Amino acid sequence: MNVFSTDCRLCPRLASFLDEVRLAQPDYFAKPVPSFGDAGSPLLIVGLAPGMHGANRTGRPFTGDYAGDLLYSTLHKFGLATAAEPLDANKQANPRLKLKSCRITNAVRCLPPQNKPEPAEVRQCNGYLVQELAAVPQGAAILALGTVAHEAVLRACALKVKGYKFAHSARHELPNGLKLYDSYHCSRYNTQTRRLTEAMFHQVFESILERHSLRP
Q: pLDDT tens digit string along 19-46?
A: 999 999 999 999 999 999 999 999 999 9
pLDDT, one tens digit per residue, over 132-166 is 999 999 999 999 999 999 999 999 999 999 989 99
pLDDT, one tens digit per residue, over 45-67 is 999 999 999 999 999 999 999 99
Question: Which homologous superfamily is 12-211 in?
Answer: Uracil-DNA glycosylase-like domain (3.40.470.10)
| pLDDT of amino acid 188 | 93
| pLDDT of amino acid 2 | 72
**Is 216 a residue whose pLDDT tops 80?**
no
pLDDT, one tens digit per residue, over 183-209 is 999 999 999 999 999 999 999 999 999
CA distance 51 to 88: 18
pLDDT, one tens digit per residue, over 61-92 is 999 999 999 999 999 999 999 999 999 999 99
Residue 19 sits at φ, ψ, to 5 deg, of: -60, -40
pLDDT, one tens digit per residue, over 10-20 is 999 999 999 99
Contacts of 138 (CB under 8 A, 6+ apart): 177
Beta strands in the chain (DSSP E): 36-37, 43-47, 102-106, 141-145, 171-173, 179-183
| 3 state SS of 36 | strand
Domain ranges of the chain: 12-211
pTM of the model: 0.96
| Cβ atoms 52, 64 nearer than 8 A | no
| pLDDT of amino acid 215 | 57
Helices and strands: H and E segment counts in the chain: 7, 6
DSSP string, 4-43: P-TT---SHHHHHHHHHHHHH-TTS--SPPPPEE-TT-SE
